[in-house]
A and B are shown apart, each in its own frame.
Chain A
């Protein structure tokens, strides 16, 4: 009975957030295969955690945090942050999974925005990405990053200001 309920909840979470989690991960690790692995592992670990009898109130935040922790592990493994940038990925033959009719493709402004975000100090780019791109609430971001909501709120605010300033220049 409880098992069925749990599975339904998990399935719903997967359908809602698996692609977003993947996006979040791939943006950070810049390695598609690795990102798929991490995303899969994120869900598997979450399922195990649920099966162990733990209650997860905010499943979305939990998934992001798990993914984030794994990304950090991945960084540690590599010994440095971001081995390849998205540009490098593109140069390496990284294929956009677009159907070809997306307006944004080849948009120079998009590239510049991305580059600017990438150039923000890591703690700000992380907060800004989660807030603006993933459209997560401050509280969820705080859960994901394992930080206080006020800290996250300050980072998002500063990061956004930096981003605005950079875009202006």
Chain B
């Protein structure tokens, strides 16, 4: 076969195959539609970024970058976090302290008790910061605003917790919060612009809390310094604290009171609640002082009569001190002592421990004087329906009568 013939044969073969393999128009259309429908449904996504990353990932630098970054973040983070603990408003690290450290600790506080003590501790920390700045001699306006906002936020958060407790019928726990908050506010009253009335200031001096606050480290604070931190509804919060305090106090003392005294106190207490509801907070404070003086008289009389207990609680000197420190005493009961355990754990972190130290010293003293269990005269007419037994558990029953609005 010549080359020419072969070429012709091949050409025939080609054409013949093309004949067989020709697609009909319909087949062509269907096939095209199928393929391009798929193409449209699976469009190309530019993976330039991914590609460049993939190239980068295997570079030497990148291989070390990830572990190095982890180490830097881990240790740098912990370092910054620890360094931030001592920072004050206006410092570079202060936002880490309040936004990072405190949120972490708040998140790690499991359970109502831990939450409560942490939230109280946060408020204390704000006052410690104010104290530390005050000691430096001046507080920048910017820092003042930061502190004021933070403090109000912290107080709001605590108020929400108290409201939660109330809604869960944990009246006793809610009372504990109000009382503890009231004490913190009183202790730091000199930093506040609160006008709560001269009577209260006097009472406040009498309680001796001020002397604790002004112990050693605080002495160099200018007495006349007004930091000018404004706490929202501070009078209301304090009034609420007073009412909670009185309710608890009456509950503790009720068995020791004579019927007429208890009647009198009960009337005053009702007035107090009414005054609170009418936003007459100064009146609440006045009534608080009156009720307290009534209760104190009873207490000291009982103390004199009961020598056994005096021996049990230590010397007489200390006993008198307790009566003077009465508002603090009310703050402490078994619940608060328990809380102090977790509080002390938290305190390990704190570099500023001035007021905390004073606080726990105070607590220890009061622990010795916890007389709650020693009274045994039933006096039920004040809150007859709620009175179930002599035990401390009835405190919650008592508190039902004082169902206040949250602040």
A contacts, CB < 8 Å to B: 1-3, 6-7, 10-11, 14, 18-19, 22-24, 26-27, 35-36, 39-40, 43-44, 47-48, 50-51, 53, 86, 94, 96-98, 102-105, 107, 109-111, 113-114, 117, 129, 132-133, 135, 163-164, 167-168
Q: Does chain A have a CB within 8 A of B142?
A: no
Pairwise interchain contact B9-A167, C-beta atoms closer than 8 A: yes
Pairwise interchain contact A40-B31, C-beta atoms closer than 8 A: yes
Given A22-B21, A96-B19, A36 and B13 contact (CB-CB distance below 8 Å): no
Pairwise interchain contact B12-A164, C-beta atoms closer than 8 A: no
- How far does the alpha carbon of A24 sit from the alpha carbon of B21 in the complex, in Å? 8
Q: Which of B212-253 touch A at CB < 8 Å?
A: none
Interface flags, B21-38, vs A, CB<8A=1, else 0: 111100110111011101
List 15 contacting pairs A-B, 8 Å CB cutoff, sorted by A.
A18-B31, A22-B21, A23-B17, A47-B39, A47-B42, A53-B51, A96-B20, A97-B20, A102-B15, A104-B15, A109-B9, A113-B12, A133-B10, A133-B17, A167-B1
Smallest Cβ-Cβ distance to A23: which chain B residue: B21
Residues of A within 8 A of B42 (CB): 47-48, 51
Q: Which of A2, A50, A110 contacts B13 (CB 8 A)?
A: A110
Q: Which of B6, B31, B47, B48 contacts A167 (CB 8 A)?
A: B6
Residues of A within 8 A of B9 (CB): 109, 113, 167
Q: How far does the Cβ of B27 sit from chain A's closest Cβ, in whole Å?
A: 6
B contacts, CB < 8 Å to A: 1, 5-6, 9-10, 12-24, 27-28, 30-32, 34-36, 38-39, 42-48, 50-51
Residues of B within 8 A of A163 (CB): 6
Pairwise interchain contact A107-B12, C-beta atoms closer than 8 A: yes
Smallest Cβ-Cβ distance to B9: which chain A residue: A113
Smallest Cβ-Cβ distance to B21: which chain A residue: A23
Pairwise interchain contact A133-B44, C-beta atoms closer than 8 A: no
Given A110-B12, A110-B13, A98 and B51 contact (CB-CB distance below 8 Å): no
- How far does the alpha carbon of A48 sit from the alpha carbon of B48 in the complex, in Å? 16
Given A7-B39, A113-B13, A105 and B45 contact (CB-CB distance below 8 Å): no
Q: How far does the Cβ of B141 sit from chain A's closest Cβ, in whole Å?
A: 53
Given contacts A7-B39, A24-B21, 6 further A-B contacts (CB under 8 A): A2-B46, A14-B32, A18-B31, A19-B21, A19-B22, A113-B10
In the complex, the number of residue pairs spanning A and B with C-beta atoms less than 8 Å apart equals: 120
Q: How far does the Cβ of A84 sit from chain B's closest Cβ, in whole Å?
A: 13
- How far does the alpha carbon of A22 sit from the alpha carbon of B17 in the complex, in Å? 11
Q: How far does the Cβ of B9 sit from chain A's closest Cβ, in whole Å?
A: 5
Smallest Cβ-Cβ distance to A109: which chain B residue: B12
Pairwise interchain contact A51-B45, C-beta atoms closer than 8 A: yes
Smallest Cβ-Cβ distance to A30: which chain B residue: B20
Given A110-B12, A113-B13, A168 and B1 contact (CB-CB distance below 8 Å): yes
Q: How far does the Cβ of B292 sit from chain A's closest Cβ, in whole Å?
A: 80
Q: How far does the Cβ of A65 sit from chain B's closest Cβ, in whole Å?
A: 18
Given A40-B34, A132-B14, A22 and B23 contact (CB-CB distance below 8 Å): yes
Pairwise interchain contact B15-A110, C-beta atoms closer than 8 A: yes
Pairwise interchain contact B34-A2, C-beta atoms closer than 8 A: no
Pairwise interchain contact A18-B39, C-beta atoms closer than 8 A: no
Q: How far does the Cβ of B20 sit from chain A's closest Cβ, in whole Å?
A: 6
Residues of A within 8 A of B10 (CB): 113, 132-133
Pairwise interchain contact A102-B19, C-beta atoms closer than 8 A: yes
Residues of A within 8 A of B31 (CB): 18, 22, 36, 39-40
Smallest Cβ-Cβ distance to A111: which chain B residue: B16
Smallest Cβ-Cβ distance to A168: which chain B residue: B1
Residues of B within 8 A of A48 (CB): 42
Given A110-B15, A117-B13, A167-B9, A3 and B23 contact (CB-CB distance below 8 Å): no
Which of A6, A129, A132: most chain B Cβ within 10 A?
A: A132
